[in-house]
Amino acid sequence: MKRPVLVAVFALCQVIAAAAQDQPLAMNQGQMNRLDRDGNGAVDRPEYQAFMASAFANLDRNKDGSLRSEEVAQVLNAQQFAATDADRDGKLSRTEFLNRVMADFKSADRSGDGSLQ
């Protein structure tokens, strides 16, 4: 598996796990550095959203525009998957996925300035 995919999967796991447990998003410094594309020392909303959109695309192995449980079985347990599947149709749309991870970003942005530091 390529390194960017591993990073994306790792970040995804943390985000979804935190969401399923109603905990705020937390990233270590190494993860922050990978997501901080402009090198300003913070991960802003557009950087995070672009990263997570890429993570979704990488996880969508069959390229049907949704994530099925078998596509993410190695990174999400059933509870995490269900917590993200807002319409309960058994798959995660790009919108469901991004809504969840961006809601987590907002929760983690305690200063409300649109960035994580």
Its pTM surpasses 0.85: no
Burial label for 83, CB within 10 Å (0-12, 13-18, 19+), is middle
User: Residues near 76 by Cβ (< 8 Å), separated by ≥ 6?
Assistant: 12, 13, 16, 69, 84
The residue among 17 and 45 whose pLDDT is bigger is 45
Is 5's pLDDT higher than 50? Answer: no
Establish if 85 belongs to a structural domain. yes
Query: In this structure, what CATH number is given to the domain that contains residue 21?
Result: 1.10.238
Domain that residue 27 falls in:
3-108
Establish if 117 belongs to a structural domain. no
What is the average pLDDT across 72-76?
Answer: 83
What is the average pLDDT across 56-67?
Answer: 94
How many separate domains does the chain show? 1
pLDDT, tens digit, 9 for 90 and up, residues 37-50: 999 989 999 999 99
pLDDT band at 56 (very low <50, low <70, confident <90, very high): very high
Establish if 99 belongs to a structural domain. yes
